[in-house]
Amino acid sequence: MMRIIPGLKTDASVAEAQRLMTQAFRLAGLDSPEADTRLLLGHALRLDRARLLSQSDRLLEAREVEAIQGLAARRLRHEPVSRILGRKEFWSLTLQVGDAVLVPRPETETVIELALDLIGRDGARDRPLRILDIGTGTGALLLALLSELTHATGIGTDVSVGALEMARANARQNKLAARSQFVCCNLADGISGPFDLVVSNPPYIARGEIETLQPEVRDYDPALALDGGTDGLDFYRAIAREALRLLAPDGRLIVELGAGQEAPVATLFQSAGLTVAPARLDLAGIPRALSAVAAKNAS
């Protein structure tokens, strides 16, 4: 086969493969060449990080070199490592990912942090809370919350049958299937409230900006999970229309935001009869998670 990684051939050592792979990734301008190499090499050789080190002098067989070259070719086409591996860590969970779903991102954990902080402040962690996750995808938001709130139950909705199959598999894998349900519908059509917590990471990229995204996102995340309409706000408008119907009297709505969306989304929610708190910043300092309550219940 063609040598995607120049110089990598049978009888190279594990350490040499790691060096050559990292070099190829760095020359291609990938963001994290060392980490990508470690994960993909470990996957190809079925070795964890410690065993990669302890077996660094071992010589590779032809089939192993072929497997490494194949994985490297996929990464050099900007396929995300999580998609190549078929899994992604989110919160404390390992989630399966595939073509039908957005890969959960670290900044989305800001939604979980804010939800748990607010629930803790309300003294509601031990209550049998009812949670709704609109546009659940992998199930990341709902399952992370259920893993922390052991008396809670929840529903995840999505228009994608493939996404829902993956969310159900993730619920089973993380032993949360008994407290979760996944429903195929648009937003929350046919879903009956009230919910103590409604969360969503909706599509929020303006349609005209999708082509400018990193190839890892543009070429591999499903367009359905990215396209927020002409101005990126279509799904926030739809959620705003449903919010009061879905929320319990003391319930909270928390949504993920794209960069620069705090003010317009806050305005949409306020116009729908909600009171909005300042957004929680992610680790990059971007307003990322916005919470709201029914106006009469503001606190």
pLDDT at residue 299, rounded to an integer: 47
CATH class of 87-297: alpha beta
Tokens 């995340």, residue located: 221
Rounded to two decimals, the pTM is: 0.91
- Please choose, from the candidates 89, 46, 49, the residue with its C-alpha nearest in 3D space to the C-alpha of residue 68: 46
Rounded CA-CA distance 242/226 in Å is 21
pLDDT per position as a tens digit, 124-183? 788 999 999 999 999 999 999 999 999 999 999 999 999 999 999 999 999 999 999 999
pLDDT at residue 1, rounded to an integer: 44
Region of 273 (left: φ > 0; alpha: ψ -120 to 50; beta: rest) is left
pLDDT at residue 258, rounded to an integer: 94
Contacts of 77 (CB under 8 A, 6+ apart): none
**Ranges in the chain, pLDDT < 50:** 1, 298-299
Kindly tell me the burial class for residue 58, based on how many C-beta atoms sit within 10 Å of its own C-beta (0-12, 13-18, 19 or more). middle
Contacts of 121 (CB under 8 A, 6+ apart): none
pLDDT at residue 297, rounded to an integer: 54
Asked if residues 163 and 99 have their Cβ atoms less than 8 Å apart, the reply is no
pLDDT at residue 7, rounded to an integer: 85
Rounded CA-CA distance 60/298 in Å is 63
Q: Give the start-end residues of each E strand in the chain.
A: 87-90, 93-96, 130-134, 153-158, 180-184, 195-200, 247-256, 274-276, 280-281, 287-294
Rounded CA-CA distance 274/126 in Å is 26
pLDDT at residue 227, rounded to an integer: 92
Given the DSSP bridges, would you call strands 180-184 and 274-276 parallel, antiparallel or unpaired? unpaired
Asked if residues 255 and 202 have their Cβ atoms less than 8 Å apart, the reply is yes
Q: Could you give phi then psi for residue 157, rounded to 5 degrees?
A: -115, 150
Q: Could you give phi then psi for residue 195, rounded to 5 degrees?
A: -120, 140
pLDDT at residue 3, rounded to an integer: 61
- Please choose, from the candidates 288, 294, 296, 299, the residue with its C-alpha nearest in 3D space to the C-alpha of residue 113: 288
